[in-house]
Amino acid sequence: MSYMLLIVEPTDQRNERSQDAGRALYERMLRFGENLKSRGILVASESLASQTKGVRVQMREGRRKLVDGPFAEAKEMVGGFYLLACATREEAVAIAAECPAAEWCTVEVREVAPCFE
């Protein structure tokens, strides 16, 4: 089964730390990813830019609507993800608990499944 670990962080958290502190945390996350890769369970992972650089796209009645970030209603944003190949939900939850980001934000565990399930 595939599970996604979504790194959910407060929108202003990145601005509250120095660049050196941010780089140190990022290095920890890279090492975590390398560990998952060596265990044969990492499918993909990426860090995402701040939502201030994002855009939301909607199609309504044939018209495209774009909303640039930051998104005023958001208190949190997805800062990155790990896509894992795990045997069970419990394994994915255990791996989420190992994730360094769980110390400063939330790691949401989601099973990959069709939207009709």
Answer for the pair 7, 49: CB distance below 8 angstroms, yes or no: no
Could you give all domains of the chain from N- to C-terminal order, each with its CATH number? 2-111 (3.30.70.1060)
Q: How many CA atoms lie within 13 A of 19 on its CB side?
A: 0
E strands along 48-105, which residues? 55-60, 63-68, 76-85
Structure confidence by residue, pLDDT tens digits, 37-51: 999 999 999 999 988
What are the residues whose beta carbons fall under 8 Å from the beta carbon of 70, sequence distance 6 or more?
Answer: 11, 50, 51, 52
Q: How far is CA 98 from its chain centroid?
A: 15
Q: How far apart are the first and last CA of the chain?
A: 15
Tell me the pTM.
Answer: 0.88
Structure confidence by residue, pLDDT tens digits, 6-44: 999 998 899 999 999 999 999 999 999 999 999 999 999
